[in-house]
Structure 1
Amino acid sequence: LMDRYNLTFNLIFTGDTVTYPGLGTFTDAPPWGDTEERPVGYLPSDPSEVNVRFYLDTRQQLDVEVFNTDINGLQQTTFNYKKNTKFIIHGYIDNGDVSWMNDMSKALRNVEDVNVFRVGWIGGSLTINYAQSATDTQIVGAEVGLFINNIANSFGISPASFHCIGHSLGAQSCGYLGASVSPKVGHITGLDPAGPYFENTPPEVRLDPTDATFVDVIHTDAEKLVDFGFGINQVSGHVDFWPNDGIEQPGCDQNALSTIVGIDGIVDGTRNFVACNHLRALSLYTESITSSCPFYGNQCDSYDDYLNGKCTSCPTGQCAPMGYNSINYANEIFQFSNPSAYLQTYSKSPYCEYMTYVEITLGSNSDGVEGKLFLSLYGPSENSEQVQI
């Protein structure tokens, strides 16, 4: 009948909605679902199922559970509203007491007297339905946003003093809290933000530079999902660092048996083998907190240009450091015409390397010379290994 009368119908998927008091109204309509990037749309699970928990660490007190609606209870802890506050959010399959979160919290508190909240959401993250977990990050972001608003309103402080650090789906959760806090939080750090269900979606669906005053991102597993990449291959911040091109990290081509049955035990060993590249962002960021090595990234159009020595200096005269100290170079970063910065790292800890660009010019009589060239760098404290060029 449609062909016979030349009729055209435009079907618009309006989707369903759900409202959770204090957190907002959510929908599975486009762009949240029924799109090429999200072919199946889900509504966020009930907050009681996502089970977002907050664990406070300070220099005086560790692992104290607090609640985002109980400010009176928060005041009974060593939380100090006059100090900066950081939230650390884990990703898929993890939980709020995983070792890397404790290590990162400890490193942050060693260099800065801050409040650190480790955010767990094991009810939403520990599920075989990744698409549902990806959708539930909206609840995680809204719960953290509610906490920030309650703290800011209760103590009369600005959201600018808050910093959200998220890994994988946790990074996307940080992006969602940005939409629920006004004025913006001061800083969001995305550690290999999750790619599946987020890559190539509109800014409101994923982490992007509008979510905080300053957004920095580290990509370590930006390969396509069909090639077992878990991170997003898309610029997501004011500055995006791509160590080793952000795809294959040195040291992640390990032997399966030696990695899975390693010194960290079978569970951690299996995680490292399956998601070594994805987890490397955690190690790089945590090392950057306490390391004196700068992790400088060179602003460049591509990793190949970087390797070919086309980006040996930065436009503002100062290259931005990847990781913890990037916020101190925000003014320079805001002037970048290209937010992507490239660098190389080592295969194991300590990961940071000092990069040196070496150019060799041969003399006019070099045509008849045969031999090999070797390079060593000599410094005041130690010398590099000899490398054949």
Structure 2
Amino acid sequence: MYNHTGGLLLQTAFLIVLNNEIPQQPAVMPANFTLKQLKNGEDPGLLCYEGVGCYSVTYPWTDEARPVTHFPEHPDKIDPIFCLYTREHRTKCHRLRHNETETIVNSKIVPTHRTYILAHGFLENGDKRWLKVLKDKLLNRTDCNVIVIGWQGGSQPPYTQAVANIRLVGRMGGHLLGVLNGLLGLKTEFCHVIGHSLGAHLAGYIGNTLITQYNLTLGRISALDPAEPHFSETDPVVRLDPSDALFVDVIHTNAQPFIQGGLGMDEPVGHLDFYPNGGVTQPGCSDSFKHSLDAEESIIKALRNFLGCDHVRSYHYYIESIADRCEFMAVECDTYENFKAGKCFGCKSEINPKGRICAKMGFRSIRAVQKYGAESGDIHPFLSKSMIKLFTITGSKSLYCRYLYRVTVRISSSNDSLAHGGEVGSFSLEIVGIKDRTEVIPLFREQAYKPGSVHTEVVASKTVGRVRTAILHWSHQISFNILTWRWHLPIIYVQNVTIDSLEESSSITLCPVKEEIKKERELRPCSNTTELINE
């Protein structure tokens, strides 16, 4: 990927370019707000707007992790738009206003249906294509209400001002849901806010407003790569946290430090926090800027995709997860390295009580609550154990969803293997199942394999159903380094290979007809080796 310094410079240049494209809006004179210090001199750190409350810039809104804090801009300046869409009116926006009753009672909202609220992030607006795609996917899936929050008037640079503005937008969103509850009986427990970047923290403010102002509870928040700058290591009231809704699920895709070009948070902030591919960078996002330019019709869009690829991948994963074609299964683990090494594999169940918590990343992660809650008799099994970190692996392009396999290669300690000694090379594997076969999957990295050694790695590919056989490939790369040269054909002796399928909850051990492998060897079941994963 682009180097860290270059990435930061490009990000800065990107913001300048975008800022130059944004028409300068005239300042809106705040006609309906009161600065308390101007009124009575009591609190210079508080600003109040009529109808949407007061906002502090003192602790915890300003601290070591957040040295710069602004008041939210005037509501007339931000002018957030809450657009309602239903199956009956899926293309025309019906604007809802929490302080204008007629916009609510005259709307087509169905209070008995589930309601989804979508929120964008910095530099965006409510007309972004990904919001339209997500809205349509939700409406196609079920008869529901979708409210898209467009806050372009407050999402523009400087970033620190946009950070402040989401406090007001979130407060207004909470008031809207509270009024919908009071006027129409809409159940907030059936409301689900989906927010990206700054929109993820905006979702938290909606939930907090419902709790503190209406004694109501938001049903769910799905946070898509929550923004890191000015939120990491802050007080829970400042950022998204598990108390903001009954269930908070988070997808982390760009958790590098901001100084290295990262935009998302690394710390867990939900009940279930998903880290696809480790959550730092995403496969396919290291392509060159030229590759992005070839795929887009303008330099601005190409630059946005190139710089923000890891960050926006979170909502691509989420949109894809709405379909039922693939599960995006993820496994609880302490680190991505341990997950990849196969130390966290096998899902907790009645027959495997020592297994890990497994959940489907994205839209269907709520099913983990239903599954483990039913097994434990607890309506919310994660309340006492929030911030659970789960890991999975995706593909580099759409369709991103993959199935997980744990592959263990055991190098033979037979006399022939011992006599031959160790060998340097690399493995790859084709898995053949009852439904299909995978592509050739690289295993491990090129390294020395000693007789009797055992090597395990979790890999991802398409589903093949129950595993039947496999083809193991062996190769040795020759470089200009004379130490890598071989005067004979590199040979490896393999005792067997075990393939565990997470989704199938099955395990099979395959053996080569001959232990000696020069290039590739078909692997077949050793004998009675197919069994359920039980750890």
Q: Same fold (TM over 0.5)?
A: yes
Partner of 2:201: 172
Q: Is contact 2:242–2:386 with CA below 8 Å preserved after alignment?
A: no
Counterpart position of 2:163: 134
Count of paired positions: 375
Tell me: CA distance 1:271–1:59, structure 2 relative to 1, closer, same or farther (3 Å).
Answer: same
Give the aligned partner of residue 211 of structure 1.
244
> How do residues 288-327 of structure 1 correspond to structure 2 at under 5 angstroms?
288-315=321-348, 319-327=358-366
Q: Is the 8 A contact 2:111 2:187 kept in 1?
A: no
How much does 1:76 deviate?
A: 3.1
Give the structure 1 partner of residue 186 of structure 2.
Answer: 157
**CA-to-aligned-CA distance 1:65-123 (integer Å, 9 cap, x gap):** 31222343334333211101010000000000100000111111111211101100001
Gaps (5+ residues) in structure 1? 1-13
**Partner Cα distance (1:228, 1:191) in 2:** 17
CA shift digits 1:210-259 (9 cap, x unpaired): 00000000000111110011111111100100011111100001111221
Q: Which residue of 2 aligns with 1:189?
A: 222
- What's the counterpart of residue 95 of structure 2? 66
- TM-score, scaled relative to structure 1: 0.91
Structure 2: distance between partners of 1:57 and 1:158 = 18
2:254 aligns with 221
Partners of 2:103 and 2:75 in 1: CA distance: 21
Contact 2:97 2:103 survives alignment (8 Å):
no
From 283, 289, 297, the counterpart of 1:256 = 289
**Residue number in structure 1 paired with 2:78:** 50
2:388 and 2:225 mapped to 1: Cα distance?
A: 16
> Is the Cα contact below 8 Å between 2:330 and 2:391 reproduced in 1?
yes
Verify the 8 A CA contact 1:68 1:146 in the aligned structure 2. Answer: no
Q: Which amino acid aligns with 2:87?
A: R
Letter in 1 for 2:83: Y
Cα distance in 1 for residues equivalent to 2:103 and 2:115 = 17
Q: Which is greater in Rg? A: 2
Is the contact made by 2:80 and 2:169 (CA closer than 8 Å) also made in structure 1?
yes
Corresponding residue SS for 2:232: coil
Amino acid at match of 2:393: Q
The 8 Å contact of residues 322 and 364 in structure 2, kept in 1 or not, is answered as yes
Contact 1:15/1:28 (8 A) holds in 2 = no
Worse overlay, 365-374 or 63-72: 365-374
Q: 1:388 to 1:228 in 2, by over 3 A?
A: closer
Give the alignment partner of residue 380 of structure 1, picking from 431, 434, 442: 434
Q: CA deviation at 1:261?
A: 4.2
Query: Residue 266 of structure 1: CA displacement?
Result: 3.5
Contact 1:22 1:146 in 2 (8 A): no
Provide, for residues 333-370 of structure 1, a one-character-per-residue CA deviation record: whole Å limited to 9, x for no partner.
61757600011111000001101001122333133376
Alignment of 1:331-342 (within 5 A): 331=370, 332=372, 334=382, 339-342=388-391
Q: Could you tell me which residue of structure 1 aligns to residue 451 of structure 2?
A: none
- Partner Cα distance (1:100, 1:119) in 2: 13
- Structure 1 residues 388, 227: CA separation in 2 closer, same or farther (over 3 Å shift)? closer
User: How far apart are the structure 2 equivalents of 1:199 and 1:289?
Assistant: 29
Percent sequence identity is 35
1:360 maps to amino acid: V
Structure 1 range deviating more: 117-126 or 289-298? 289-298
**Higher RCO (C-alpha under 8 Å, 6+ residues apart):** 1
Q: 1:272 and 1:320 mapped to 2: Cα distance?
A: 29
Contact 1:320 1:329 in 2 (8 A): yes
| Secondary structure of the corresponding residue to residue 390 of structure 2 | strand
Deviations 1:148-189 (A, max 9, x none): 001011112321011110000000100111111032100001
Paired residues of 1:260 and 1:267 also in contact (CA < 8 A): no
2:275 paired with 1:242? yes
Residues 1:37 and 1:375: Cα distance change in structure 2 (over 3 Å): same
1:282 paired residue number: 315
**Cα distance, 1:376 vs structure 2:** 0.9
2:136 aligned partner? 106
Query: Which deviates more from structure 2 when the two are superposed, residues 371-380 or residues 52-61?
Result: 371-380
Could you tell me which runs of 5 or more consecutive residues in structure 2 were left unpaired when the two chains were aligned. 1-42, 350-354, 373-380, 444-535
Instruction: Check conservation: 1:54, 1:66, Cα contact below 8 A.
Output: yes
Q: Indicate how the Cα distance of structure 1 residues 23 and 144 shifts in structure 2: closer, same or farther if over 3 A, else same.
A: same
- C-alpha separation in 2, matches of 1:71 and 1:321: 39
Indicate the SS of the match to 1:32.
Answer: coil
CA distance in 1, matches of 2:118, 2:314: 14
- C-alpha separation in 1, matches of 2:323 and 2:298: 26
Q: How much is the aligned-residue C-alpha RMSD, in angstroms?
A: 2.0
Q: 1:119 aligns with which of 144, 149, 170?
A: 149
Q: TM-score, normalised by structure 2?
A: 0.67
- Displacement of 1:287 in angstroms is 0.3
Q: Which sits farther off after the overlay, 236-245 or 46-55?
A: 46-55
Q: What one-letter code is carried by the residue in structure 1 that aligns with 2:273?
A: D
Deviates more, 1:58-67 or 1:241-250: 58-67
